[in-house]
Structure 1
Amino acid sequence: MPATHRLSAAAGLPLSVLAGLAIPVQGRINGALGTVLQDGLAAALVSFSLGLVLMVALSLMLRAGRDGLRRVLPAVRQHRFPRWYLLAGCSGAFLVMSQGVAVSLIGIALFTVAVVTGQSLSGILVDRLGLGPAGRQTVTLMRVFGAVLTVAAVAWAVSPKFSAAGTAGTWLLPVLLPLAAGFLQSFQQALNGSQSAHYGSPLPATLINFIVGTVVLAAAWLVKAAVAGPAGPLPDQWWYYLGGPMGCVFIFLGAVLVRDLGVLLTGLGMIAGQVLGSLLLDVFFPAPGTVVAAATVLGTLLTLVAMVLATLPWRRAAIPARLRRRR
């Protein structure tokens, strides 16, 4: 396995925030494309397909990509990781599909809280199970507190928009879909990171993600098109097609960072970037009817504080100490 340089938390966390910034940008672009096409699933398929084309080109053009692709089959045949790890791209496809189904029912505010809650909880679990390339990570009280504080901060940041979600009876069942999608995100990052460690590059794992996700979305869209008819014509404006590259940034950096930061810290950094990016979009490129309230700004800042707190090395507060004595 090729030698790799490891990133410190000081260098890796800003990169995880940068990766998180791509998520709201992608969501805004894909949402606009879905409106033009009058088909959210078709917009997701276009986004994934363009991401796939870009990853094929990068993997073939770059030496690291070509070398990594040559290591895929030997790694699979030698069972260096379970073969079902190759299906990590289903998580991304599921998240995109859940956006098309749930956002219109519960609103973007509750959707964001549900995804963040699921991702924060699964980040702790995945680190504890050791599914990522960094192996088992110590789950300290400070990391748990950071995850809980992150959920609370995001809820505070989007609280001005809660009124759009309606009564609890109307959103309680639909909210389970983004909750499950967020829960699967940490597993996707861990599985991609584990594959990348054996390929010597995150490019093959990212490419495989887009292959799997595109196949899943294409199958779903064909069923929908057979029932409800095809989508509208594709728009001419170039910026409608940037959603795929944004997804490449998110998946690629996630596969790199989980090796050094662990799944929980990578996820918290991406959540901070997601909330910060949403705030910047609302300030500089507001959607119709957008109002930036004090709670939005303060909740965003608290999310960044929670990310920093989760990195503090409170070793004496480590939770797994009792668990280690039981083994």
Structure 2
Amino acid sequence: MTKARSAGLLVAVAGGVALAAQSRVNGELGGRLGDGVAAALVSFGSGFVVLAVAAAVLPAGRRGVQTVWAALRRQKLHWWHLVGGVSGGYYVITQGVAVAAIGLAAFTVATVAGQVGSSLLVDRAGLGPGGPRPVTTARVAAAALAVVAVVVAVADRFGSPSALGLAALPAVAGVAVAWQQAMNGRVQAAAGAHAATLVNFSVGTATLVVVYTVVAPLRGLPSHWPAEWWVYSGGLLGIVFVLATVAVVRLIGVLMLGLGLIAGQILAALAFDVFAPAAADRLAPNTVVGALLTLLAVAVAAR
């Protein structure tokens, strides 16, 4: 593996750490509010505000937005390249809805299963900016090993079996995330990482506004908002995640990006268990074994 690809993989791992932290934060906020859609809107909306202000203040941000419109006019980009944020919005909704019900462990397993399998197909179809990538025996083996690794890592932390029906939500979200990464990578290749991240958050926020406009009259508004600042940090963590993915997807491909994200999620889970455990979390030997298997999967794919 070249130095550039190695650096890209490390960035992907950092994105996975941010994604795991975002799932924990948004799941906590959704559980406290009793409204996963509201938590998702807070997360995506706050990230959009930060990025929009940066785009307005920084010359590079303004140039990026202008470049996106120019690429659309020249048909270097098409409208479907800009709607990756719809998948991101759905994923953040599942964080707020499902994590509190089935736990971060089951949520991660379902997401990874959907993401890894679909990443192979996304790479093979050439939907990402790096063009088609073959489905080799090593890549299939790495994807399968990654799924096994995550199952092993969280085997002792599944919630109630009756609640696992909700795992279908993050499984579909995992499929959507692979497509989202490919589309965001297309925008990044045309206009830069900041522009791609801003487009992602703009579309995702607009999607969530529409969804919340429909569900709010039916469910009502949250009656209590938590005072702790950290439960509102999901937007900033999402920016880190999206920036990491759009910066390296062209270099390492959707599958390698997904495996790096998985490694980061597992390593973050270990860190949470050691330094900031939740009430039901504990460090177990199977978690360590799962982390090692995940890193092995990344090594297999890298070769």
Quick check: 1:21–1:274 contact (8 Å CA) kept in 2?
yes
Residue of structure 2 aligned with 1:187, choices 176, 179, 197: 179
Shift of 1:262: 0.7
- Distance in 1 of aligned mates of 2:236 and 2:125: 31
User: 156, 164, 181: which one pairs with 2:152?
Assistant: 156
Contact 2:26/2:95 (8 A) holds in 1: no
Letter in 1 for 2:81: Y
Match of 2:92 in 1: 96
Alignment match, 2:204? 213
> In structure 1, what is the Cα distance between the partners aligned to 2:21 and 2:107?
16
Secondary structure in structure 2 of the residue aligned to 1:175: helix
* Superposition RMSD in Å: 1.8
Does the 8 A contact of 2:111 with 2:172 survive in 1?
yes
2:263 to 260, 266, 272: 272
Residue identity in the other structure for 1:74: A
| Residues in 2 aligned to 1:128 and 1:22: alpha-carbon distance in whole angstroms | 27
1:119 aligns with 2:110: no
- 1:55 alignment partner, one of 45, 51, 55: 51
Contact 2:27 2:100 in 1 (8 A): no
For residue 193 of structure 1, report the CA deviation from its aligned partner: 0.7
Which residues of structure 1 form unaligned runs of 5+?
Answer: 1-5, 313-327
Q: C-alpha offsets along residues 266-298 of structure 1, whole Å, 9 cap, x if unaligned? A: 111011101111121121101113221110111
Partner of 1:230: 221
- Please give the alpha-carbon distance, in whole angstroms, between the structure 2 residues aligned to 1:286 and 1:261: 33
Q: Residue 160 of structure 2 corresponds to which residue in structure 1?
A: 165
TM-score, with structure 2 as normaliser: 0.94
1:196, 1:204 within 8 Å by CA — same for their partners in 2? yes
Q: Following the alignment from structure 1 to structure 2, what is the Cα–Cα distance between the partners of residues 214 and 286?
A: 31
Which has the larger displacement, 212-221 or 249-258? 212-221
Structure 1: distance between partners of 2:224 and 2:193? 34
Amino acid at match of 1:14: L
Normalised to the residue count of structure 1, the TM-score between the two structures is: 0.87
Percent identical? 45
Supply the AA of the counterpart residue of 1:192: N
Bigger Rg over Cα: 1
Aligned-pair CA distance for 1:7: 6.8
In structure 2, what is the equivalent of residue 10 of structure 1? 6
Give secondary structure in 2 for the equivalent of 1:310.
Answer: helix
- Match of residue 76 from structure 1: 72
Q: Deviations over 1:190-245 (max 9, x none)?
A: 1111111111x111111111111111112222222201210134334332321101
Q: Aligned partner of 1:158: which letter?
A: V
Which stretches in structure 2 are left out of the alignment for 5+ residues? none
Which string of whole-angstrom CA distances, capped at 9 and with x for unpartnered residues, describes residues 19-49 of structure 1?
1100121122222322333322211111111
How many residues in Structure 1 have an aligned counterpart in Structure 2? Answer: 302
Q: Could you tell which deviates more after superposition, 100-109 or 11-20?
A: 100-109
Deviations 1:77-136 (A, max 9, x none): 222133111111011111112233334554433321111011111111111111111111
Matched-pair contact (CA < 8 Å) for 2:18–2:238: yes
